[in-house]
Amino acid sequence: MKIYPRISDACGIFGVVNEKGNLIPGEDAVTAMEAMSPRYNGLGAGFAGYGIYPKYKDQYVLHTIFDDENSKTKVEEYLNSRVEILKDEPIPTCKVRKIRNRPIVWRYFVNPLPQKKAAAEKKSPDDQIIDLVTYVNSEIEGAHIVSSGKNMGVFKAIGYPWEVAELYRIDEYKAYMWLGHGRYPTNTPGWWGGAHPFNILGWSVVHNGEISSYGTNKRYVEQWGYRCTLQTDSEVLAYLLDLLARKHGLPLEVACAAISPPFWKDIDSTTNEQGRLLLATRITYNAALVNGPFSIIVAVDQGITGLVGLTDRVKLRPLVAAKKGDKAYLASEECAIRAACPKPEIVWTPKASTPVIAKVERAA
């Protein structure tokens, strides 16, 4: 694989979903990511697959990275006090010559234990899992939970996308929805936990760009109990979406409008009910606005199931969409889509700040 010099708007992102819930081979995501090789420098890559654990589709799956056996032991002691572990095992990997200093990668299929608090104080299973992830990632040194949804998993490491795919044997998985990411980090370190995708519960995000509002966004989500611990601005996007859509119950389109709203002049010129909704959203969720050049692709299976693409308000980072049959595609470049789908029925470039949403009718 030839590696090209850096270009100004790297990283590379990709997403595909089958809207009928049928399974897509992992090779499709890898092929798409290989087509965008000029965008990466080998300091991080990853994939997220949805529908990959049908035998445990009702359990939360914790994909975890450990520096050593000591941190693994501490996490398992904590897990045993909080969840029922139905199964745990190493995540299957193979040796890749260029991926060195490998941590321990492990997965746990769990159910939250019943709470002993009064009924009014009990948290939902989802919030119990968020508390668990937050504690492990912020309080147990050398341990990070990198995904925590149901019937899905995040696989990431330091390396190029094709190396990370080989490491985790992505070609052995099939999913109804895939995300892929290749990093070219500029302001944050390249390390295993800081590679994309970023996940919480059923939300996974891949991001190209920079979040100049990160400080404001971070303070906002941390007011609601989240903690940003993975040393990159992109992590906050997953928490924002979970907060707005799951905890606050906003429709996905409205949550996207909070993150990347129209300019004030456009809101002021819209006097109908939609304009009033945009105004209320802009005022209420001012701290959720994400500034800076960005394009993101979001995979979600949290009440709603589907794939979402969104850019900043002037589209300073690229995003391309396509459709063929039951499959919808999003990527930084059209070449990635055509590598996985040589003859799409329609290809278009979404408008700035306008979400593209492909919903799954039936999860596999």
Handedness of CA 302, 303, 307, 312 (dihedral sign): negative
The CA distance from 354 to 360, in Å, is 19
Nearest C-alpha neighbor of 318 from the set 23, 4, 14, 3: 14
32, 179 Cβ separation under 8 angstroms? no
DSSP letter at 70 equals H
- Which distant-in-sequence residues (6+ apart) come within 8 Å of 255 by Cβ? 241, 244, 245
Cα dihedral 228/229/230/235 (nearest 10): -10
Burial (Cβ within 10 Å: 0-12, 13-18, ≥19) of residue 357: middle
**Could you confirm whether 94 is annotated as catalytic?**
no
Q: What are phi and psi of 66, to 5 degrees?
A: -120, 140
The SS3 of residue 182 is strand
Q: Single out the catalytic residue among 11, 228, 256, 341.
A: 11
Enzyme catalytic residues: 11
